[in-house]
Amino acid sequence: MVVAVLVLVLIAGMFSAQKVLTWGLRRVTTAAMLVVPRDVSVARRQELRRRLDCVVRLADQGRLDEGRLGELARACADVAKHGSMSPNELERIEVLAGGLCALAGGELPN
């Protein structure tokens, strides 16, 4: 009986950790979208949002490699922290998000 309760507590903890991870990822990707340069086309901006949404959705399902996910989260946090995004940073975030989405079997970015 005690073992069953401990297993249930462990499982519940894993699910809540997954939700916290997803919540944090959603916040950092949203913050990064706020600093996309104004001269970036609407189509490119929408594609970036689609890729980031794919990553958040797959993270919520627990389907992503945590190391690669951490790299994307750090890239997004860095641009949000300094309040701007260079063309190189934009390209890096696009590639990381697209790759994560594709590797996890999400909808492939165009």
Per-residue pLDDT of the chain (110 residues; tens, 9 = 90+): 555 555 555 555 555 667 778 888 999 999 999 999 999 999 999 999 999 999 999 998 888 888 888 999 999 999 999 999 999 999 999 999 999 999 888 765 45
Distance CA 21, CA 17 (A): 6
Structural contact between residues 48 and 93, judged by C-beta atoms closer than 8 angstroms: yes
Give the predicted TM-score (pTM) of the model: 0.81
Asked if residues 30 and 92 have their Cβ atoms less than 8 Å apart, the reply is: no
Residue type at 30? T
Eight-state DSSP code of residue 83: T
Q: Where are the domains of the chain?
A: 42-110
